[in-house]
Amino acid sequence: MDQTLTAYIRTAAANLERAANAGLDQQMEAAIAAMSAALKARHPVLVCGNGGSQSDAQHIAGELASRFLREGKGLPVIALGANSATLTAWSNDYAYDTIFAREVEAYGAAGGVCLGISTSGNSRNVVNALERARDLSMRTIGLTGNGGGRIKDVADILLDVPEKSTPRIQEIHICLYHYMCGRVEANCR
């Protein structure tokens, strides 16, 4: 990295401004409505991703299962892949590409939501999770960049940020899901 911190932050701010103008409001409202409806009915919201997106999945689950800004009952939000015994057993015995789909099968239910996070939109295990969620009559949400990749074909609701760089996509994702968590929590607590 050959730029100053100030230049880096200014670029991030410009990227956020571009995301603000990308017309994601309607998709965000649909995602909030889907998650809120599921959680009010005590149906699960399952969140998954790899690497930094796995950390984001755990962050989202932590904010909603425990508390973001409001006190109230815990909400049934689960970060898939967070149980290392399940993750390693299934991946070793079967395939990493199907680990999230297996957990959707275990924890998912009709009326629930599966939120898949992938900066490329092409993470095979995330795509498989969304496909399995659809099989179970769950709503599917994709949080992506890079034009949505394969996830755009399996997400009922696509939040695709206008960026190609993984770190920049993740910077925008955190703003989007913090907004989402605040709104969902306000609807459900």
What's residue 2's pLDDT?
Answer: 81
pTM for the whole structure: 0.97
What's residue 53's pLDDT?
Answer: 98
What's residue 155's pLDDT?
Answer: 98
Regions of the chain where pLDDT drops below 70: 1
The rounded distance, in Å, linking the Cα atoms of 24 and 33 is 14
**pLDDT tens digits, residue range 127-142?**
999 999 999 999 999 9
Helix intervals (H) in the chain? 5-20, 25-40, 52-65, 84-93, 99-107, 124-135, 166-188
Which range of residues forms the domain containing residue 123? 5-188
Domain with 76 in it: what CATH number?
3.40.50.10490
* Structural domain count, the chain: 1
What's residue 93's pLDDT?
Answer: 97
